[in-house]
Chain A
Amino acid sequence: MVKAIGSLLGIALACALLLGLTHRATTEHIKHNQNAHFWQQVNELTALDVPIDKVEWDENVWHLCNGLVLVRGETRGYGGPIHLLAALQLDTAREKDGQTTVRGVSVTRHQETPGIADFISQSQHPWLQHLAGLDPARIGGVEAVTGATITSQAILRGLDAMTAYPELASSRCKG
């Protein structure tokens, strides 16, 4: 009995050690990859090279002070939360003040079914491209992708909520 407990403990310890070492060896790389991925998405969305280390989230809104606003949000998909990042164009022209247009949407993290919902992480996918240039009022009319209805609708819901953030109006860049 004591021998069995001893060997079980030994195996558990060895596993913990292996995990700890791998974690230590990979943390740096993983962090770097995740950052690079995030910035790549930001740059794809805004189509301009935002200098790294310039994250200024105000709640979930980040005013880039050139008419563009980055918003992040979360929505409940089929397999768990889907993390979204969207670039919105703020219309500051006199009569249309406060109006927004969606510039682009990308998914930063998700646990949707591979093979079926792959398209949400492909920024070139026609469905995601279709969302760009959309008036937020027309989001409800966008149709879902066949086979991934729940995923598509979750993204549309999330996008709808993100275009309605109250922080969008209170730009800190005025003046």
Chain B
Amino acid sequence: MSTFSRAAITHNPAWVQLLGLCPLLAVSNNVVNALGLSLASAFVLFGSNCTISMIRAWIPSFARLPCFVLIIATFTTCTVLLLQAFAFDLYLRIALFVQIIVTNCMIVGRIEAFASKQPLAKTILDAAGTACGFAIALLALGAIRELIGHGTLFAGMELLFGPTAASWQLTFNVSEQGLLIATLPPGAFIIAGLALGFGNALLKKFRSRQPSNNREPS
């Protein structure tokens, strides 16, 4: 379990390692987009990490990068096709960012640093942890931005979960229009920066409470 929580929290790909920020900032303008992208990323991350862990003995080390990229690209293309087939409306909204999962350095990073050297069981935990960590970051940012920008939460969930989910929308009458900047890219940077600062403060407190435990050499 420590592999999981390490990957998800203390080494959170987005907040701690600052990887995959492009989709994180771009697609987190509401919860449903964030959830869609985190599911797609999780699928690619999980699939490619596990595949590579299983075949790591056959990958020639001088040509490992082409192998990684090929496998990630394969999983990304499969995701694109599956989304188009089963969640077309959502795909229309996040299409570009699903396609560029292929260049998400979080995924290559985890493969190079972990999956290509570790057995499958550990890789599953690490990939699940990383995917969860990324999803937490995306969803948190998506929720904050949707709340500030539109005054709603979970709007448009029917794109993912079918028509019954249309009633999941929560509306908060904070203001009539919402603060537009929160949904625009500058708002993403501002909110992500604040969240990062807040997260770092929390992490510092957490670490100072358990001295000498899992502190990294500086």
CB contacts (< 8 Å) of B78 on chain A: these are: 18-19, 22
**Is the pair A29, B185 in contact by a Cβ cutoff of 8 Å?**
no
Binds B, one of A44-52, A112-120, A134-142: A112-120
For residue B192, CB closer than 8 A to chain A, the reply is: no
Are A115 and B84 touching (Cβ within 8 A)?
no
Chain A residues, CB < 8 A from B93: 114, 118, 121
Given contacts A4-B60, A11-B67, A26-B82, contact A114 B185 (CB under 8 A): no
Which chain A residues lie closer than 8 Å to B96 at the CB level? 79, 111, 113-114
**Would A30 and B58 count as touching, CB distance under 8 A?**
no
Kindly state the interface size class of chain A when it binds its partner. 20 to 34
Query: Which of A15, A33, A36, A115 is close to B85, meaning CB atoms less than 8 Å apart?
Result: A33
Q: In the complex, which of the residues A4, A19, A114, A118 has the most CB atoms of chain B within 10 Å of its own CB atom? A: A114
Q: How far is B74's CA from A102's CA once the two chains are assembled, in angstroms?
A: 43
Given B60, B66, B73, B184, which contacts A147 in the complex, CB threshold below 8 Å? Answer: B184
Separation of A37 and B93 alpha carbons in the complex (Å)? 13
Cα-based distance from A29 to B83 in the complex (angstroms): 10
A37 contacts across to B, CB distance below 8 A? 88, 92
| B-side contacts of A116, CB under 8 Å | 184-185
Which 9 residue pairs spanning A and B have beta carbons closest together?
A29-B85, A4-B60, A26-B85, A33-B88, A15-B74, A7-B58, A26-B81, A22-B78, A30-B84
